[in-house]
Amino acid sequence: MEKIRMTTPIVEMDGDEMTRVMWKMIKDTLILPFVDLKTEYYDLGLVKRNETDDQITIDSANATKKYGVAVKCATITPNAARMTEYNLKEMWKSPNGTIRAIMDGTVFRTPITVKGITPYIPTWTKPITIARHAYGDIYKNTEMSVEKGCKAELVVTDENGNETRKLIHDFTNSSGIIQGVHNIDASIESFARTCFNYALDVKQDLWFAAKDTISKTYDHRFKDIFNDIFENEYKEKFEKAGIVYFYTLIDDAVARTVGSEGGYIWACKNYDGDVMSDMAAKAFGSLGMMTSVLVSPDGKYEYEAAHGTVTRHYYRHLEGERATANPVATIFAWSGAIKKRGELDNNAELEAFGKAIEEATLSVLESGVMTKDLLALSNLENKKAVYTDEFLDAIAAKISEILGK
């Protein structure tokens, strides 16, 4: 059998625990039998990150900037317990945070919708993608407790030492708390452009929501930047693509979302995106069915599953138990990267193969064959839980059928 050829490599970022185990299974069963796979391999497993003082993570992000397409396995973000478990030199930072900072990217999270799994909101027949601005606001804040009798002010000092002051609150009658947050125009502009480009890429409407009626300078700046960039750079492109951009208040967006049928991208400020993406993930079903792509403003893509390394399953795997974890989100990370590589290289065969992986996966799920986590969610009558390897074998058979091989 002739394998599908590739011209440019995909940046492959391997990871940790159960997802690392599934990573190899997916490659061996679904990819390597069909494609003469070209990847530039980076092992982001915690052992290797520790060995290289995390340089490997930086290298993998730079490779993504060079080649434009990456696929990433879930990785451990170390905490105190991992320090001893892996005998770490340092509590290395989250690889996702490092990669996001180097690529200046925005994360888009989209659920995989499939017949037989009804979202908690049954009118949601199409996926809702949440785009989260991953810079600033309360995630880079400065907070203080304030004693009774104090006065708190905002002070900005310019280059010449001149101060501008504004009263935050006079704490004459009670102690309390204050918080200073910031954002920068350059980051908001990147976020806006990335969202507009992504909407054009997937041909879906884009919503942006904040609270500019209350936050007349801060949130209003976000609204203005989105609006200016849209009017000057994207309006015509959106019209041509038959899609819409609009701004609305965050509470209105929440209410509209509940009544919607889905099928759009919702751009959120950092905190709103943090909250709404977990709400959407749960409402659509399972973490095992949520994909994630990091997109840079200059059009570089890094695909991954939204879930972590599924630690409990890994410990059971080490005891010799057969795997039951759900590989779907990781499969879609691979198919997303393969489709994008095919598209960028004008490699129609590769792009079609990426689509075939997704079609085959959905078809197997819709035939009632699924991993254990989906069983309770599925309303198919003939549903049946299978092991991860059996599930992958069923998908591989279906891919062969689709490709006529």
57 sits near ligand NAP (criterion: CB under 6 A): no
- Contact between residue 335 and residue 69 where contact means Cβ atoms under 8 Å apart: no
Instruction: For residue 139, give the DSSP letter.
Output: G
* Cα–Cα distance for residue pair 365/356, rounded to 1 Å: 14
Closest approach of ligand NAP to the CB of residue 243, in Å = 29
356 sits near ligand NAP (criterion: CB under 6 A): no
Residue range at the interface with ligand NAP (CB under 6 A); choices 71-79, 147-155, 211-219, 254-262: 71-79
Closest approach of ligand NAP to the CB of residue 129, in Å = 17
**Which residue's CB is nearer to Mg ion, number 278 or number 345?**
278
Selected from 119, 127, 285, 288, the binder of ligand NAP by CB under 6 A is 288
Position with the least CB separation from ligand NAP:
308
Cα 400 from chain centre: 29
Residue range at the interface with Mg ion (CB under 5 A); choices 4-12, 65-73, 223-231, 277-285: 277-285
278 sits near Mg ion (criterion: CB under 5 A): yes
Q: How many CB atoms lie within 10 A of CB 205?
A: 15
The residue among 257, 267, 309 whose CA lies nearest residue 287 is: 309
Closest approach of Mg ion to the CB of residue 274, in Å = 4
What are 283's two structure tokens?
Answer: 């409402």
310 sits near ligand NAP (criterion: CB under 6 A): yes
Q: How many residues does the chain have?
A: 405
189 sits near Mg ion (criterion: CB under 5 A): no
- Contact between residue 270 and residue 134 where contact means Cβ atoms under 8 Å apart: yes
77 sits near Mg ion (criterion: CB under 5 A): no
**Which residue's CB is nearer to Mg ion, number 205 or number 274?**
274
What are 105's two structure tokens?
Answer: 């990217």
Instruction: For residue 124, give the DSSP letter.
Output: -
Q: How many CB atoms lie within 10 A of CB 267?
A: 30
Chain positions contacting ligand NAP, by CB under 6 A: 74-77, 96, 287-288, 304, 307-312, 325-326, 373
